[in-house]
């Protein structure tokens, strides 16, 4: 029987299991020395030593980062609609208004012209998303922010190790959030990291994650229980030693897929901007909107290959968020939502798996001709 190729596959090995066992035996399970070590190591590995705070999820990190940066009721934050709902949810949870804008079509990231057109006197900042592991157009967004005196907040949930003109993502904004969910390029089991542009924001995040206190029982503000455990941090520390090799494998897999799919009618393979390092959290192609569901079903049923659609419903059309965007028309976002299909690219793939994916895509597209 042919083995199923999953769309994503977390990698947890003996080293991670041993790290968890070590922490359990230590008796120090809640936020403690493992978390502090993970914060330092993550910062050194990914963001040039920028001050970093660990939290219990990427969404918590984004929410607390915004609060720490002073975002609240009456503010507007410009966000792309083509992203996971957590991007806009985190803005709305502060009491601020997410202002949805369109994407540029090549890299699925926030469109500079759309950002410029959305700025109002209430705009506090711009939340760029390094979607699928490709940086947003950093130079253009930074220039707009500087021109208008706006803050930058980075959603780097999918972009561990990505960079723009040699500078790592996560070092541009007032803060950046990295997710450590199981299917991300590295994981802590669950969790997030907030990399901070100032000591003040870093302290604010740490206070907010710990019930509003830095010293026990001296609660300064109303806060949250958003701490990372030492168990999760121990897993993350092991994964840090492996993520570079996994990233290189993702990039090699992506190159092989692109070479195999090149010239195949009806498929547009991922583009990479000049100066960008893409870490391929997802390998996302475009196919004809009318064919996508058939292609995905055939890959699954006939070829035992998983795939994903990220994201089928733009944020501005989600029932939970439509009140922020009545009657909004975002044509590039709608087109992408109808056409995108993410093929397996994770580092567990073999050369034979890559060949199967390419052969299956060729067969499925041929069957629809």
pLDDT at 2: 86
pLDDT at 102: 98
pLDDT at 369: 61
E strand or H helix that includes residue 283? strand 283-286
Q: Is the pLDDT of residue 40 over 80?
A: yes
Distance of CA 243 to the CA centre of its chain: 15
If you average pLDDT over residues 320-336, what whole number do you get?
96
pLDDT at 366: 85
If you average pLDDT over residues 255-272, what whole number do you get?
96
If you average pLDDT over residues 232-247, what whole number do you get?
98
If you average pLDDT over residues 82-102, what whole number do you get?
98
Q: Is the pLDDT of residue 368 over 90?
A: no
From 182, 269, 264, 191, select the one nearest 227 (Cα to Cα).
191
CB-CB neighbours of 122 under 10 Å: 12
As a whole number of angstroms, the longest Cα–Cα distance in the chain is 68
pLDDT at 27: 87
pLDDT at 127: 98
Residues 6+ away with beta carbon under 8 Å from 170: 46, 47, 50, 154, 156, 159, 176, 178, 195
Q: Could you give phi then psi for residue 333, rounded to 5 degrees?
A: -65, -45
% of the chain surpassing 90 pLDDT: 96
If you average pLDDT over residues 29-57, what whole number do you get?
97
pLDDT at 96: 98
> SS3 for 289-331, per residue?
CCCHHHHHHHHHHHHCECCECCCCCCHHHCCCCHHHCCCCCCH
Q: Is the pLDDT of residue 44 over 80?
A: yes
Q: Is the pLDDT of residue 115 over 90?
A: yes
Whole-angstrom distance, CA of residue 44 vs CA of residue 49: 4
Whole-angstrom distance, CA of residue 221 vs CA of residue 282: 39
Query: 268-312, pLDDT tens digit by residue?
Result: 999 999 999 999 999 999 999 999 999 999 999 999 999 999 999
From 123, 143, 138, select the one nearest 79 (Cα to Cα).
123
Q: Is the whole-model pTM more than 0.85?
A: yes
Distance of CA 70 to the CA centre of its chain: 22
If you average pLDDT over residues 26-31, what whole number do you get?
90
Query: 338-363, pLDDT tens digit by residue?
Result: 999 999 999 999 999 999 999 999 99
Radius of gyration of the chain (CA): 21
From 105, 109, 82, 62, select the one nearest 276 (Cα to Cα).
109
Query: 303-313, pLDDT tens digit by residue?
Result: 999 999 999 99
Q: Is the pLDDT of residue 1 over 90?
A: no
If you average pLDDT over residues 65-85, what whole number do you get?
98
DSSP 161-186: T-EETTEETTSSSSEEEEE--TTSSS
Q: Which structure tokens are listed for 194?
A: 């907030």
If you average pLDDT over residues 97-108, what whole number do you get?
98
**Beta carbons of 54 and 39 less than 8 angstroms apart:** yes
Q: Is the pLDDT of residue 21 over 90?
A: yes
The number of helix segments (H) and strand segments (E) in the chain equals: 12, 12
């Amino acid at each position: 029987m042919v083995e199923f190729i999953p769309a994503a596959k977390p990698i947890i090995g003996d080293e991670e299991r041993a790290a968890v066992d070590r922490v359990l035996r230590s008796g120090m399970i809640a936020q403690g020395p493992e978390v502090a070590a993970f914060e330092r190591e993550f910062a050194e590995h990914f963001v040039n030593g920028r001050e970093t705070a660990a939290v219990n999820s990427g969404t918590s990190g984004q929410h607390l980062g915004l609060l720490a940066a002073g975002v609240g009721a009456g503010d507007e934050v410009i966000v792309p609609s083509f992203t996971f709902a957590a991007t806009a949810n985190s803005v709305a949870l502060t009491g601020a208004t997410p202002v949805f804008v369109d994407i540029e079509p090549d890299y699925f990231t926030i469109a500079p012209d759309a950002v410029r057109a959305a700025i109002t006197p209430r705009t506090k900042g711009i939340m760029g998303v390094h979607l699928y592991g490709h940086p947003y157009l950093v130079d253009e967004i930074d220039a707009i922010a500087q021109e208008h005196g706006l803050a930058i907040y980075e959603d780097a949930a999918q972009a561990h190790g990505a960079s723009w003109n040699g500078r790592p993502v996560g070092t541009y904004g007032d803060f950046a959030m990295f997710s450590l969910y199981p299917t991300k390029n590295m994981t802590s089991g669950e969790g997030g990291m907030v990399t901070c542009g100032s000591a003040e924001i870093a302290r604010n995040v740490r206070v907010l994650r710990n019930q509003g206190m830095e010293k026990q029982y001296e609660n300064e503000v109303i806060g949250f229980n958003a701490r990372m455990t030492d168990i999760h941090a121990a897993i993350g520390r092991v994964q840090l030693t492996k993520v570079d090799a996994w990233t290189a494998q993702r990039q090699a897999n992506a190159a092989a897929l692109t070479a195999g799919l090149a010239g195949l009618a009806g498929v547009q393979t991922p583009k990479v901007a000049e100066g960008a390092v893409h870490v391929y959290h997802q390998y996302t192609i475009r196919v004809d909107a009318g064919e996508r569901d058939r292609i995905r079903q055939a890959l699954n049923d006939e070829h035992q290959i998983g795939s994903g659609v990220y994201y089928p419903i733009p944020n501005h059309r989600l029932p939970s968020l439509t009140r922020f965007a009545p009657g909004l028309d975002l044509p590039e976002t709608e087109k992408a939502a109808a056409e995108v299909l993410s093929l397996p690219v994770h580092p567990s793939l073999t050369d034979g798996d890559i060949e199967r994916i390419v052969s299956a895509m060729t067969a499925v597209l041929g069957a629809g001709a």
